């Protein structure tokens, strides 16, 4: 089994997450730091982990707080850990938690750590609202004024347009295209029909509803007290629509390209709040502490494409690298988790893996292969469960490892697309 070239296997011991909730709903009063702390605290409790044994905490987030930009350090200051625990924050757009996990895994494989916690959190309700440049200039100048008269004169320079706030946009700085516009473009380029997108979205909701009802999804969730009275507990994801029908999804209007587009609110992942974390250990430390790992990280890879081309297609280039590093082929994989940013993106990724054109771009003589839908996102995905940008990667890994163990499978694969034209793939193996 590959061991990062060091002879040390990295074990995935456990994973925990908060419920995922549509932004502006039941988790709106929690910050990303709060959500991260809730997930990590529960991870420690469930695994009976001695916090003093943790060597490293790495966390991902995308829309960072300007007040507390190192979310990892804030999470590491939980009373479960010594104040000397090193912690740092990473950001790779929607693959931020994956970056946190692979960073931590690398440190374990190199022998620099034995025990690490990695994950991410996001509150897409509490995004920072920025002042306009004009307002910023005036506020800075006013702070330097030496008298009330000077301060008032400075504020007198404000114009009505200066009061218009700037909100973060889910768009590419390099192209100006939003993710939704990019998904629409991918659907057109790859011939992904509106019907196939809506049917895939319906499949996601139905699978997630089944996984919630039989307890497979709720098993990975820590119930969270519901503000403001904290008298009830939030224990399930609130984006899963078990009553959805194809006819309802088909009736929704496109939201990006209103005339020719096929991406709707129903076949796109919702803005979501949530946090997730996983516990990683060296194989020898896990065994010494009596843990039975869910799985081991066998390989991983990152890739990128031109953001102006097909923004969310990079997983197609990451998968063959990860498979080659693992010494495996697609048919060896027992279970697959693909992050569902948009139905059009997942279906484009699947098409790309079977494409001669994309195989050539990856330096392959033949395509990676056809994805078996019976192995794919068997408990739904981000379209239904939700997508807190910084947390999704840890949720996908947790879901994959838990279900792989339940099914008695050996190999699992996950993929995550990310803004900036980036993509990630990981192969895990059960011992």
The catalytic residues are: 94, 387, 417
Structure tokens at 89: 């924050």
Pairwise CA distance, residues 319 & 325, whole Å: 10
SS3 at position 154: helix
Contacts of 400 (CB under 8 A, 6+ apart): 335, 337, 412, 413, 414, 428
Both tokens of 69, joined, read: 């930009």
Asked if the bond preceding 365 is cis, omega within 30° of 0, the reply is: no
DSSP code string of 169-215: -SB-TTT--BHHHHHHHHHHHHT--HHHHHHHHHHHHHHHHHHHHTT
Q: Which helix (H) or strand (E) holds 335?
A: strand 335-338
256/415 Cα distance (integer angstroms): 25
Secondary structure of residue 279 in the 3-state scheme: strand
């Amino acid at each position: 089994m590959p061991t990062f070239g060091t002879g040390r296997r990295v074990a995935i011991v456990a994973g925990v997450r908060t419920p995922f909730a549509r932004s502006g709903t039941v988790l709106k009063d929690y910050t990303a730091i709060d959500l991260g702390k809730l997930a990590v605290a529960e991870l420690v409790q469930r695994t009976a982990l001695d916090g003093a044994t943790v060597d490293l905490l790495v966390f991902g987030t995308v829309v960072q707080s300007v007040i507390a930009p190192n979310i990892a350090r804030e999470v590491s200051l939980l009373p479960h850990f010594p104040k000397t625990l090193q912690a740092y924050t990473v950001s790779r757009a929607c693959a931020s938690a994956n970056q946190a996990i692979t960073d931590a895994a690398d440190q374990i494989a190199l022998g620099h750590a034995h025990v690490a916690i990695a994950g991410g959190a996001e509150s897409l309700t509490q995004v920072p609202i920025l002042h306009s440049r004009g307002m910023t200039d005036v506020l800075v100048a006013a702070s330097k004024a030496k008298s009330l008269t000077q301060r008032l004169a400075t504020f007198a320079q404000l114009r009505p347009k200066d009061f218009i706030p700037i909100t973060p946009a889910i768009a590419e700085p390099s192209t100006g295209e939003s993710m939704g516009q990019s998904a629409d473009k991918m659907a057109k380029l790859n011939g992904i029909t509106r019907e196939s997108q809506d049917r895939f979205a319906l499949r996601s909701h139905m699978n997630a509803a089944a996984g919630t009802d039989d307890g497979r999804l709720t098993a990975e969730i820590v119930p969270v007290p519901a503000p403001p009275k904290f008298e009830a507990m939030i224990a399930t994801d609130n984006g899963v629509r078990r009553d959805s029908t194809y006819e309802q999804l088909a009736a929704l209007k496109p939201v990006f390209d209103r005339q020719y587009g096929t991406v709707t609110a129903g076949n796109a992942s919702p803005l979501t709040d949530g946090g997730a974390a996983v516990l990683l250990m060296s194989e020898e430390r896990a065994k010494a502490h009596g843990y039975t790992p869910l799985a081991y990280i066998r390989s991983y890879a990152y890739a990128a494409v031109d953001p102006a081309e097909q923004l969310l297609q990079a997983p197609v280039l990451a998968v063959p690298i990860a498979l080659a590093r693992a010494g495996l082929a697609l048919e060896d994989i027992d279970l697959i988790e693909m992050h569902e940013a948009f139905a059009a993106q997942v279906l484009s990724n699947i098409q790309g893996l079977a494409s001669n054109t994309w195989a050539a771009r990856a330096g392959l003589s033949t395509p990676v292969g056809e994805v078996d839908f019976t192995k794919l996102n068997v408990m739904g995905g981000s379209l239904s469960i939700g997508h807190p940008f910084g947390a999704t990667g840890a949720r996908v890994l947790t879901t994959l490892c838990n279900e792989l163990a339940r099914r008695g499978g050996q190999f699992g694969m996950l993929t995550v697309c990310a803004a900036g034209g980036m993509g990630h793939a990981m192969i895990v193996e059960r011992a």
